[in-house]
Structure formats: structure tokens, C-alpha cells
């Protein structure tokens, strides 16, 4: 009806189409933007973000011992490594590693290994913190969930986990205290 | 409009809001193939279980607290102090397992009788969406009691998304609302666990709309040729469905009263501890086959893709199966591979419960390969090479020894006989 008329007039059709497309586009973009607050409300809230640093006194940890502390609801492994462990970690060829990284780049002081104790496969806590725990084929940590083996630097060596145990941001406040986060 | 109701009040309402006409159309007069077997009971049974889950769930929610410091205790309080709280919880926990048993049987039924084939493709799809929504609901429900399995199940499953390249970690943080599974996670899971069953309800409604548009399949897999091949839903199938519910209730309540923790994991009676993973974590039994597929692949992303793929492939079933004959009854070759496939799913379930080491790994990999081989190679191939048995003339024909009355014949409809 009206279309026939605008057809005859020529220009009308494209102008009306333009209005239609423009309105649809503005409406779509507007709706998408309005969704953002809802989506973002599910991201970590300010109080969750605020809780994100932990201080640890290293003095009581003897050589060859490990402790687990909590940071952001996750276990953080702190290990006072022995000479042999450090040597073992440093004597590996990069090419032997699924996720190549030098031991030197994973520690601030060679004897202190600090890393997040969450398996990079699907998030279990690997075993190896207690003396009686199985430590896997590379004498570091072993994740029993699906069988990932980590070495004395916390690097993945065997199993389904794709990457090394991550090193959190931390700093030495004194010689024997660190602040994680 | 209808004018079929004698009761004045019903008529008055129906003339303004035709719910009674709708009900009559879909639950009373609905013309049903008269040869449906007991395998056709599981649909209405699933709907019945959904109602039980929603009812028991709402009353549980009145006493449940979705906070990490109180959730475990609130469930213990339900078990010990709340009047009949133990009953509500055991009905709900075992109801979840029953729901999956019923729905899995319902799906295998559909596979055996080719119920996914045209014109029932959308009906099949809606069924699959129901299954996916059920899985999400059950997964989040299992997190609520905040035991060790709740916590570590939630951790492992949400971490699946971290396998997605680039954005994976952001997605997981977003799902958690923090840096690990914690209070924000428990809170949102409770909100969604409350919501999803009602979404499920809407999906079931659409499933039924689609069913009543294309009508029920039947054990012969051929269309009714006329009214002589169908009987009205009520009273014939209402009574048969009720009988099935009676039998079902005996099984269900036997678990609730005499083996309430049969499907559960003892570790879930230990409060969640984010610092210690239980030595042997397993998901609920209904996820085991999928868990086995996840673990069959030694690569993180690969495992996740295969696991989701094992569900996605079901959506393509209407096109992967190339046979023109629906019912397995007339497909001698398919029939055998169907049962092999059932066995394969059971093997996957068994492997999913075992630690991923030694022979279990190899068996899991073979069973996973066979799962996909069945859908991607066997189904298209069988349809091409199989010599199917001759189909009967009509649904009535085999019963009447070949004397079935063809469509359009003069005989009166037999349904009133
Ligand atoms: C599709 C339907 C549903 C399924 C499959 C389902 C599944 C589950 C499962 C598996 C659990 C864990 C049970 C346990 O181990 O203790 C659970 C817990 C729970 N569900 Fe549901 N649920 C459904 C519907 C609902 C609804 C509609 C509500 C109500 C709002 C609800 C409220 C709860 C509550 C409060 C708990 C925690 C108490 C407990 O653990 O027993 N559920 N659900
Ligand atoms: S979570 Fe550690 S191997 Fe899977």
C-alpha cells in the first residue's frame, strides 16, 4: 500500500530503511550496554579484591620443610628448599619441560620457593607439602586428581596440567618476611 | 467457543480463558498410538519427578542458608532438627538420581525407536536442552551442602572453562565472583539452583507443545493410518502412567527409606576445606560417563572439547542416522550396535569412577573413541548398508494378523469398542 507509493516516489524506501536500521542498531547496542552492569556484578566485588594480601614470617620454616598459607582463598605453598632440590631444579634442560621456564625466574631467593598450590589442570591441591605425601616422579608435588607431576621448582613435567604452578606476586619485606599480593 | 462442558462454572471460565479446552485437547482426547509399550512411561515419569524436586526443594530452601560459614550446618540442622527435614532432604537428594535414571532411559528409548527422526527433530532438541539444564541444576545443587565433594566438584568443573584460550581465566573468575570457589560462588549457585528448575518447567512445556504437534512415536515407528490406530489418552494412558508412577515410587522410596546414601559420597559429610583435596574425587554417578571422556584425553583443552562434544553430537543425531526406518525392531544391524552403544556408555560410567591409572586409562580411551565412532561412522554407514525388515501396513495390522483396516476404510473407528 504505502510501499507502492514510496516506490513510485523513489527515495522514500531507502530513507525509511535507513531509519529502521539505525533504530535497530541503536536499540541493540543500548540493550547490550545495559546488560553490562548485570554481567559485571558477578565479577569479584571490592571487598573480595581488598582482601588480597598476606604477610608470612619465614623464620620458623626449617630447610626441607614446607608450609601452606591462604591467599585469596587459595593455598600458597612456601618451601624452604634443600641444596639438592635447587640443584635438581637448575640442572634440567629447557627442552625437557612442557612449559619451559628457568628455576632462576621462579624464585627471588633460591632457597625459598613460593607458588600457588593449585594444580593448573582443574584446580585440585597437589600433594607434597607433608613429608609423608607422595611427591611424584620428579620429587616435587603430585596431583592425585588426574595425575600431574611437578618438579622441585613446581614446574609441570608429566600429566594433563598444561602449565607450571604459578608464582604469585610477592616481595621480601625483611630477610625473613614476605608479603604476598 | 468449546461449549463441550456441562458444568456452568467451567464453561463460563473456558469461554473466557480456554484452559479446560487446552487440557482436554492435550491430556484427554490426545490421540495416542494404541501400541505404546512401558518404555513410553518414562516421559510422564520425568515430569512427575520434576514436580517432586521443585516441591521438596522449596521446602528445603526454607531452612537452608547459602553462606559458607553456615551452609553445612544448616543442612545438618535440616537432617536433625527440622520436622521431617531428613525426609525432605533424602527425597531431594535421591530424587536427583532418579531424575537422571528416568531421563536416561527415556533418551535410550528415543534412540532405539528412532524418535529423533523427522518430524521430531525439534522435540529431540528440546529434550536435549532439558538434559543440559538438568545437569546444570544438579551440579549446582550438589554444591549447596558445602561438603568436601561439593567444594572440589565445583572447583574441578568450573575450572573446565579455564581451558578456553585467552579468556578462560577471566571467565572462571567471573563464574566464581572471586579467586576461588567461595561465598560469592555458593550464593549465586543457590540463586541459579532455585531458578533453573522453573526454566526446566518451561522447556518441558515446549517439549509437550512440540510432542502434541508431531504426535507420539511408537514401538513400530510408523505413523498411525487413522483413528483405528489410536486411542484417546484418557483413560487408557492416564491409568498406565499412574501405574508406572506406582512402581517408580516403590523403587524411589526404597532408596529414600532404606538406602538414602546409596548414591551419595561419604566425603560430602566432611565440611568443605579449600586447603585439602580429597584423595579420590568423583562426580555424581550421572556425570561419570562424561567425566571418563574428559579424562581420556591427556590434554586439558582437548579433554574439555571432547566432553562437550559428546553432548553436542547428540544434537546432530537426526542427520547422522541415515536410515529411513525409525524403529530398531525392523533394523537387525542397528539393533545390535544400539546395545553395544548402551554397553559402551556403561563402561564409560564405570571408568569414570575409577582412578585414572593403568588399564583404566586405556579402556577409557577405547570406550571414548567408540562413543564417537558410533555416532560419526557407524550410524551414517549402517543406514546405508542395512537391509531392513518389511514394515507392517499399519499399527493395527500385526495385532489383527494382517487384517488391519487401512486408512480411509469404511469401518467405524475402533476406539470406542
Ligand atoms: C530439576 C530439579 C532439581 C534437581 C535435579 C536438584 C538437585 C539437587 C541436588 C543433587 C542437591 C544436593 C543434595 C545433597 O546431596 O544433599 C540439591 C540440593 C538442594 N536443592 Fe535442589 N534440585 C532441583 C530443584 C530444586 C528446587 C526447585 C529448589 C528450591 C528452591 C531446590 C533447593 C535445594 C536446596 C535448598 C538444596 C540444599 C539442601 C541439600 O543439600 O539437601 N532444588 N538439589
Ligand atoms: S586437577 Fe591436578 S591433575 Fe587434574
The answer on B327 and B390 residing in a single domain is yes
The answer on B359 and B327 residing in a single domain is yes
- As a whole number of angstroms, the distance between CA B118 and CA B317 comes to 11
Q: What is the CATH number of the domain that holds B97?
A: 1.20.810.10
Minimal-distance CA residue to ligand 1 atom 35: B61
Residues from chain B that touch A52, judged by Cβ atoms under 8 A, are: 179
- As a whole number of angstroms, the distance between CA A20 and CA B97 comes to 51
Strand A148-150 relative to strand A156-158: parallel, antiparallel, unpaired?
antiparallel
Does the beta carbon of B102 sit less than 6 angstroms from any atom of ligand 1? Answer: no
- As a whole number of angstroms, the distance between CA B293 and CA B304 comes to 9
Q: Do B155 and A146 touch (CB under 8 A)?
A: no
Parse chain A into domains and list their residue ranges.
Answer: 1-43, 49-180
Where does the pLDDT of residue A10 fall: very low under 50, low under 70, confident under 90, or very high at 90 and above?
low
Where does the pLDDT of residue A160 fall: very low under 50, low under 70, confident under 90, or very high at 90 and above?
confident
- Which among B247, B276, B57 is positioned nearest to B151, based on CA atoms? B276
Does the beta carbon of A117 sit less than 6 angstroms from any atom of ligand 2? Answer: no
The answer on B286 and B276 residing in a single domain is no
Cα–Cα separations (whole angstroms), residue B284 to B34, B142, B144, B288: 38, 8, 14, 7
Q: Do A74 and B180 touch (CB under 8 A)?
A: yes
Does the beta carbon of B134 sit less than 6 angstroms from any atom of ligand 1? Answer: yes
Q: Which three cell numbers stand for residue B89?
A: 532432604
- Specify whether B212 is catalytic: yes
How many A/B residue pairs have CB atoms within 8 Å? Answer: 81
- As a whole number of angstroms, the distance between CA B82 and CA B60 comes to 10
Q: Measured in angstroms, how far is the CA atom of residue B255 from the centroid of ligand 2?
A: 33
Continuous H helices in chain A: 2-9, 12-40, 46-50, 83-90
The answer on B300 and B266 residing in a single domain is no
- As a whole number of angstroms, the distance between CA B222 and CA B202 comes to 29
The answer on B204 and B104 residing in a single domain is yes
In a domain, B175, yes or no: yes
Minimal-distance CA residue to ligand 1 atom 3: B53
Does the beta carbon of B194 sit less than 6 angstroms from any atom of ligand 1? Answer: yes
The answer on B49 and B186 residing in a single domain is yes
- Which among A146, A142, A145 is positioned nearest to A154, based on CA atoms? A142
Tell me the mean pLDDT in the region A69-95.
91
- As a whole number of angstroms, the distance between CA A150 and CA B126 comes to 44
The answer on B122 and B31 residing in a single domain is yes
Closest atom of ligand 2 relative to the A159 alpha carbon: 3
Selected residue of B275, B278, B281 to mutate for chain A interface (largest A Cβ count, 10 A): B275
Instruction: Extract long-range pairs of B353-362: CB within 8 Å, 24+ residues apart.
Output: B353/B282, B353/B285, B353/B288, B355/B280, B356/A146, B356/A147, B356/B295, B357/A147, B361/B295, B361/B296
- CA B384, chain centre distance (Å): 30
* Strands of A177-180's sheet in order across: A54-57, A177-180, A170-174
Cα–Cα separations (whole angstroms), residue B343 to A43, B36, B219, B284: 43, 25, 22, 19
**Residue numbers of the domain that contains B66:** 26-281
Closest atom of ligand 2 relative to the B156 alpha carbon: 1
Q: Which three cell numbers stand for residue B115?
A: 524418535
Residues from chain A that touch B173, judged by Cβ atoms under 8 A, are: 43-44
B114-151 burial by CB neighbour count: b if 16+ within 10 A, else e?
A: bbbbeebbebbbbbbbbbebbbbbbbbbbbbbbbbbbb
Where does the pLDDT of residue A159 fall: very low under 50, low under 70, confident under 90, or very high at 90 and above?
confident
Q: Measured in angstroms, how far is the CA atom of residue B71 from the centroid of ligand 1?
A: 13
Tell me the mean pLDDT in the region A39-45.
95
- Which among A155, A168, A165 is positioned nearest to A92, based on CA atoms? A155
- As a whole number of angstroms, the distance between CA B378 and CA B413 comes to 42
Q: What are phi and psi of B147, to 5 degrees?
A: -90, -175
CB A140 within 8 A of CB A102: no
- Specify whether B216 is catalytic: yes
Q: Which residues contact B401 (CB under 8 A, 6 or more apart)?
A: none
Cα–Cα separations (whole angstroms), residue B39 to A173, B277, B335: 70, 42, 16
In a domain, B2, yes or no: no
The answer on B322 and B296 residing in a single domain is yes
The answer on B304 and B253 residing in a single domain is no
CB-nearest partner of B177 from A43, A52, A162: A43
Name the residue of chain A whose CA is nearest to B275's CA: A75
At the second CATH level, the architecture of A49-180 is 3-layer Sandwich (2.102)
Does the beta carbon of B58 sit less than 6 angstroms from any atom of ligand 1? Answer: yes
Residues from chain B that touch A122, judged by Cβ atoms under 8 A, are: 155-156, 159-160, 162, 300
Number of structural domains (chain B) is: 2
Q: Residue A31: its pLDDT value, please?
A: 95
Residue that is last in its domain, among B245, B260, B281: B281
In a domain, B154, yes or no: yes
Q: Measured in angstroms, how far is the CA atom of residue B108 from the centroid of ligand 1?
A: 25
Closest atom of ligand 2 relative to the A124 alpha carbon: 1
- Those of residues 77-116 in A touching chain B at CB distance below 8 A are none
The answer on B386 and B276 residing in a single domain is no
Q: Residue A11: its pLDDT value, please?
A: 58
Pick the catalytic residue: B14, B229, B265, B284?
B284
pLDDT along chain B (417 residues), means of 10: 79 95 92 96 98 98 98 98 98 98 98 96 98 98 98 94 93 95 97 98 97 96 94 95 98 98 96 91 95 89 94 98 96 98 98 88 96 98 96 89 48 41
CB B281 within 8 A of CB A121: no
The structure's pTM equals 0.89
CB neighbours of residue B280 within 10 Å: 12
Does the beta carbon of A113 sit less than 6 angstroms from any atom of ligand 2? Answer: no
Closest atom of ligand 2 relative to the A119 alpha carbon: 2
Does the beta carbon of B307 sit less than 6 angstroms from any atom of ligand 1? Answer: no
The answer on B144 and B270 residing in a single domain is yes
Q: Residue B298: its pLDDT value, please?
A: 80
Residue that is last in its domain, among B244, B261, B281: B281
Q: Measured in angstroms, how far is the CA atom of residue A94 from the centroid of ligand 2?
A: 23
CB neighbours of residue A125 within 10 Å: 25
Cis bond upstream, residue B39 (ω within 30): no
Q: Which residues contact B370 (CB under 8 A, 6 or more apart)?
A: B340, B344
Q: Measured in angstroms, how far is the CA atom of residue A146 from the centroid of ligand 2?
A: 5
pLDDT tens digits, A86-95: 999 999 888 8
In a domain, B318, yes or no: yes
Q: What is the CATH number of the domain that holds B308?
A: 1.10.287.980
The answer on B124 and B39 residing in a single domain is yes
Minimal-distance CA residue to ligand 1 atom 27: B54
Residue that is last in its domain, among B221, B251, B281: B281
Q: Which three cell numbers stand for residue A87?
A: 640443584
Q: Could you report how far apart the first and last alpha carbons of chain A are, in Å?
A: 69
Question: To test ligand 2's pocket by mutation, which of A77, A98, A121 has the most ligand atoms within 8 angstroms of CB?
Answer: A121
In a domain, B408, yes or no: no
- As a whole number of angstroms, the distance between CA B214 and CA B195 comes to 29
Which of helix, strand or coil describes residue B189?
helix
pLDDT tens digits, A47-71: 888 877 889 999 999 999 999 999 9
ipTM of the complex: 0.81
Predicted confidence (pLDDT) at residue A6 exceeds the cutoff of 50:
no
Amino acid at each position: 500500500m504505502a510501499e507502492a507509493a514510496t516506490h513510485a516516489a523513489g527515495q522514500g524506501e531507502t530513507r525509511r530503511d535507513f531509519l529502521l536500521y539505525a533504530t535497530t542498531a541503536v536499540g541493540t547496542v543500548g540493550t547490550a550496554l545495559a546488560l553490562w552492569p548485570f554481567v559485571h556484578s558477578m565479577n569479584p566485588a571490592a571487598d573480595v579484591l581488598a582482601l588480597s594480601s598476606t604477610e608470612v614470617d619465614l623464620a620458623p620454616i626449617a630447610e626441607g620443610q614446607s608450609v601452606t598459607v591462604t591467599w585469596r582463598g587459595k593455598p600458597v605453598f612456601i618451601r624452604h628448599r634443600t641444596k639438592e632440590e635447587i640443584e635438581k631444579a637448575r640442572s634440567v634442560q629447557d627442552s625437557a619441560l612442557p612449559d619451559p621456564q628457568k628455576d632462576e625466574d621462579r624464585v627471588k631467593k633460591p632457597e625459598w620457593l613460593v607458588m600457588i598450590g593449585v594444580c593448573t589442570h582443574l584446580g585440585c591441591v597437589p600433594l607434597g607439602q607433608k613429608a609423608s605425601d607422595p611427591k611424584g616422579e620428579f620429587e616435587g608435588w603430585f596431583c592425585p586428581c588426574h595425575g600431574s607431576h611437578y618438579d622441585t621448582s613446581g614446574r609441570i613435567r608429566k600429566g594433563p596440567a598444561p602449565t607450571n604452578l604459578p608464582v604469585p606476586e610477592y616481595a621480601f619485606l625483611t630477610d625473613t618476611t614476605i608479603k604476598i599480593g | 467457543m468449546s461449549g463441550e462442558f456441562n458444568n456452568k462454572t467451567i464453561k463460563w471460565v473456558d469461554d473466557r480463558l480456554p484452559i479446560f479446552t487446552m487440557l482436554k485437547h492435550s491430556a484427554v482426547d490426545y490421540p495416542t498410538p494404541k501400541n505404546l509399550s512401558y518404555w513410553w512411561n518414562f516421559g510422564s515419569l520425568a515430569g512427575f519427578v520434576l514436580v517432586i524436586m521443585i516441591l521438596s526443594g522449596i521446602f528445603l530452601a526454607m531452612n537452608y542458608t547459602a553462606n559458607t560459614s553456615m551452609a553445612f550446618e544448616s543442612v545438618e540442622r535440616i537432617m536433625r532438627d527440622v520436622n521431617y527435614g531428613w525426609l525432605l532432604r533424602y527425597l531431594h537428594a535421591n530424587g536427583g538420581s532418579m531424575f537422571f535414571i528416568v531421563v536416561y532411559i527415556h533418551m535410550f528409548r528415543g534412540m532405539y525407536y528412532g524418535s529423533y527422526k523427522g518430524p521430531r527433530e525439534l522435540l529431540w532438541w528440546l529434550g536435549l536442552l532439558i538434559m543440559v539444564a538438568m545437569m546444570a541444576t544438579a551440579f549446582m545443587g550438589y554444591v549447596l551442602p558445602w561438603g568436601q565433594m561439593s567444594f572440589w566438584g565445583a572447583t574441578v568443573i568450573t575450572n573446565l572453562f579455564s581451558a578456553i584460550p585467552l579468556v578462560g581465566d577471566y571467565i572462571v573468575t567471573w563464574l566464581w565472583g572471586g579467586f576461588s570457589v567461595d561465598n560469592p560462588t555458593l550464593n549465586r549457585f543457590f540463586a541459579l539452583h532455585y531458578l533453573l528448575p522453573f526454566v526446566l518447567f518451561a522447556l518441558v512445556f515446549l517439549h509437550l507443545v512440540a510432542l502434541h504437534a508431531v504426535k507420539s512415536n511408537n514401538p513400530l515407528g510408523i505413523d498411525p493410518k487413522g483413528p483405528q490406530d489410536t486411542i484417546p489418552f484418557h483413560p487408557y494412558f492416564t491409568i498406565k502412567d499412574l501405574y508406572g508412577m506406582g512402581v517408580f515410587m516403590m523403587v524411589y522410596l526404597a532408596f529414600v527409606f532404606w538406602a538414602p546414601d546409596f548414591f551419595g559420597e561419604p566425603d560430602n559429610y566432611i565440611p568443605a576445606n579449600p586447603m585439602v583435596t580429597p584423595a579420590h574425587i568423583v562426580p555424581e554417578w550421572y556425570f561419570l560417563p562424561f567425566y571418563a571422556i574428559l579424562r581420556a584425553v591427556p590434554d586439558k583443552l582437548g579433554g574439555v572439547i571432547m566432553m562437550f562434544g559428546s553432548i553436542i553430537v547428540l544434537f546432530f543425531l537426526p542427520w547422522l542416522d541415515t536410515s529411513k526406518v525409525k524403529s530398531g525392531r525392523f533394523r537387525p544391524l542397528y539393533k545390535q550396535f544400539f546395545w553395544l552403544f548402551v554397553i559402551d556408555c556403561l563402561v564409560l560410567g564405570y571408568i569414570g569412577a575409577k582412578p585414572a591409572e593403568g588399564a583404566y586409562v586405556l579402556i577409557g580411551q577405547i570406550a571414548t573413541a567408540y562413543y564417537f565412532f558410533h555416532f560419526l561412522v557407524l550410524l551414517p554407514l549402517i543406514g546405508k548398508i542395512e537391509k531392513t525388515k518389511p514394515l507392517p501396513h499399519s499399527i493395527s495390522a500385526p495385532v489383527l494378523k494382517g487384517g488391519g483396516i487401512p486408512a480411509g476404510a469404511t469401518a467405524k473407528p475402533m476406539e470406542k469398542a
